[in-house]
Amino acid sequence: MRTKEIILAAHIDGVKADKSSGLEHWPILMKIINIDENIIFPVALNTNIGKPSNLEDYFREFVAELDQLSTNGLSIHGNVYKIKLIRILGDAPARCFFLNTIQQNGKQSCLYCDVKGEWVRHRVHFYISEEVRSGHTERTEEEFYQVKYHPLQHGRTPLMDIQDFNILLGCPYDPMHVLFNGIMDRLLEFLVHVDENKERAAESMLYKLKPSTIEVISDHLLSLKDHVPVEFQRKTAPSKKCKSSCCTLVSFREPL
């Protein structure tokens, strides 16, 4: 039986056109996720100096066409298919851009609760203990749509007008960039240099990795290099950040 519904996921990010002009291409890419074929196709493209300067101009036609297809469906060879967008993805900076929020390194940048982060080693860290969690509240879809969260939100985004789409649940953190590429690299680095965390010195020292443990972790991670799927564009490699021979942290940021 042929499907009567087309479920879509979108991806939004920018790429520099060249090294000298400052031009950037910002495509909106779509993928049908309830079919076996892995087909990604563009539905919009903005080329400008830097990122799109106006969210309304960038997204309005996309939102209007998506709502029209969601309401009326899409007719293909006599069959009418319902169109449903369930996800919009982007790396951390792009996600802040299309949600119209502060950058991901802001102290109150968490999209899901009003917890305030701390600066440690030039990064914002969120310590979500039971004590911290009990003192903060979760953000709601209703108040997010009403732009009640300051300083998190700069204002509305046209993506709020997409029918039957929950912007909080439908725009998750991208695990490829946030977890596999960024957080693990920074977490391992942090666990080596926890003694530099002045605010939580005593507590942090409980988690400091010994040089022998670091070597074991690095050896295990490097042994997985040949098993990394081709979808990962960056292979595991020894880190160049640490000069010590006993501290061969593995970096996920090395290019192929």
What does the CA dihedral 69, 72, 74, 78 come to, rounded to 10 degrees? 180
Low-confidence ranges of the chain (pLDDT < 70): 1-3, 121, 127-135, 175-186, 195-204, 233-235, 238-256
Token output for 56? 């309304």
What is the model's pLDDT at position 248? Answer: 44
Strand-strand pairing, 74-76 and 40-49: unpaired
C-alpha count within 13 angstroms, C-beta hemisphere, residue 61: 8
What is the model's pLDDT at position 41? Answer: 93
What is the model's pLDDT at position 253? Answer: 38
Residues 184, 218: Cα–Cα separation, whole Å: 12
Residues 136, 206: Cα–Cα separation, whole Å: 26
Instruction: Say whether 10 sits in a helix, a strand or coil.
Output: strand
b/e code 25-49 from CB counts within 10 Å (16+ = b): ebbbbbbbeeeeeeeeeeebebebe
Annotated domain spans of the chain: 1-89, 178-251
Residues 244, 67: Cα–Cα separation, whole Å: 56
Handedness of CA 12, 15, 173, 160 (dihedral sign): negative
List residues bridging with 226 in a β-sheet. none
Is pTM beyond 0.95? Reply is no
What is the model's pLDDT at position 117? Answer: 81
Identify which of 140, 6, 141, 174 has the alpha carbon closest to the alpha carbon of residue 85: 6
What is the model's pLDDT at position 178? Answer: 56
Strand-strand pairing, 79-89 and 5-12: parallel
Measure Cα distances from 246 to 53, 121, 133, 213 in Å.
Answer: 47, 21, 37, 10
Whether the CB-CB separation of 141 and 131 falls below 8 Å is answered with no
What is the model's pLDDT at position 182? Answer: 60
Tell how far CA 13 is from the center of its chain: 10
Beta strands in the chain (DSSP E): 5-12, 15-16, 23-32, 40-49, 74-76, 79-89, 118-120, 123-125, 237-238, 250-251
Measure Cα distances from 200 to 105, 116, 136 in Å.
Answer: 20, 16, 21
